[in-house]
């Protein structure tokens, strides 16, 4: 069992996945910081200092904080927009650095002699 576990861990795709998760976590911190520290204050300034997260409705003794939910949706949309922009820019830069080559057209496969003969017989019978 230990030998199988070592083989599993040492496979390239497991290591690639681990690196991807770690890099993804670090990248998430960068994007969240951009949204929370730069974009949201700009949106707050443009909206006159109103904070969506503080919006709530009081029903009896309970306060329903729907603003936090709206804020989470806004954060998600901003993060998705930032990621989309970054990926689009990376893809454009990648295309400039290493443009994709068009695949060579496939040569038609040569039809075996027996199939060609059967096709010819079929065509003659149709006539």
Mean pLDDT by runs of 10 across the 127 residues of the chain is 78 75 86 84 78 83 88 85 86 79 74 86 90
- What does the pLDDT read at residue 51? 76
Domain layout of the chain by residue ranges = 2-99
CATH ID of 2-99, from 3.30.300.30, 1.10.1200.120, 1.20.58.100, 1.10.10.10: 1.10.1200.120
- What does the pLDDT read at residue 86? 85
Q: How many CA atoms lie within 13 A of 69 on its CB side?
A: 5
Phi, psi for 57 (deg, rounded to 5) = -125, 135
- What does the pLDDT read at residue 12? 62
Report in angstroms the alpha-carbon separations of 13 from 10, 18, 20, 121: 9, 9, 10, 53
């Amino acid at each position: 069992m230990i030998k199988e576990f070592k083989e599993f861990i040492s496979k390239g795709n497991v290591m690639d996945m681990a690196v991807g998760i770690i890099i993804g976590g670090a990248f998430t911190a960068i994007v969240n910081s951009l949204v929370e520290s730069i974009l949201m204050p700009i949106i707050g300034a443009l909206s006159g200092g109103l904070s969506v997260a503080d919006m709530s409705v009081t029903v009896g003794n309970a306060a329903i904080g729907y603003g936090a939910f709206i804020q989470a949706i806004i954060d998600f949309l901003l993060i998705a927009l930032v990621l989309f922009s970054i990926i689009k820019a990376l893809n454009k830069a990648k295309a400039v650095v290493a443009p994709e080559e068009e695949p060579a057209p496939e040569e038609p496969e040569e039809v075996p002699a027996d199939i060609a003969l059967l096709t010819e017989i079929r065509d003659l019978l149709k006539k």
